[in-house]
Amino acid sequence: MELLNHFHDHLPEIADFFQKPEELIFNPKYSLVPDIDHIIDDNKERFPLHMRHFDNAEMRRKLEGAIEEVRRKVRTNYEIAVPQYFNGKTQLLLPLCLTPNSPNPDLALAVYKLNDVTYTARTCLTLKMAYNNARLIVKPQSTWLKP
């Protein structure tokens, strides 16, 4: 009722964070080319504690393995990719499992379209950061991204 008192019959439009709905779904036909070195160099403090003492080569191997694993999973279940809105563009968040035998992901890989056939990733987020960014679009319903 307060909205009607203030805006009368000219209610503001709902925020529109995307122009193309297809940007909200991971396309398994696209390749995914992450910038592994940049992800490691800029985000070491976000990695699990047990990995922070690894040298870059070991961290790279773990990260490449986790990315390959999530790449296989998202090809068969597009709901794994959670959209987020960041710096004026829609990105997709993919869960990275870096801790052996853990049922929960450790980080979220932020993936965006580089061109018409390629995704790239240059950063990873903590799950809390990912959840906050994702909820700008809609409350995430994913089973892996919980506050």
11 occurs within a structural domain = no
Query: Is 79 part of any domain?
Result: yes
| Residue 1 within a domain | no
Q: For the segment 77-122, what is each residue's pLDDT rounded down to a tens digit?
A: 988 999 998 887 889 999 999 999 888 999 999 999 999 999 999 9
Q: By the 8 A CB rule, do 63 and 96 touch? A: yes
Residue whose token pair is 């004026």: 88
Tell me the per-residue pLDDT of 47-66, one tens digit each, with 9 for 90 and over: 999 999 999 999 999 999 99
Establish if 7 belongs to a structural domain. Answer: no
Measure the CA–CA gap between 85 and 17, rounded to whole angstroms.
Answer: 7
Pairwise pLDDT comparison (93 vs 18), residue with the higher score: 93
- The parent domain of residue 30 ranges over 19-134
What is the distance between the alpha carbons of residues 125 and 127, in angstroms, rounded to a whole number? 6
Burial track 53-78 (b if 16+ CB lie within 10 A, e otherwise)? ebeeeebeebbeebbeebbeebeeee
Let me know how long the chain is: 147
How far apart CA 112 and CA 48 sit, in angstroms, is 24
Based on the structure, what is the number of domains in the chain? 1
- Given this model, what pLDDT does residue 50 score? 93
Q: Which residue has the tokens 């990260």?
A: 63
Q: 15 is written with which tokens?
A: 């925020």
Q: Quick check: helix, strand or coil at residue 128?
A: helix
Residue linked to tokens 């959840």: 131
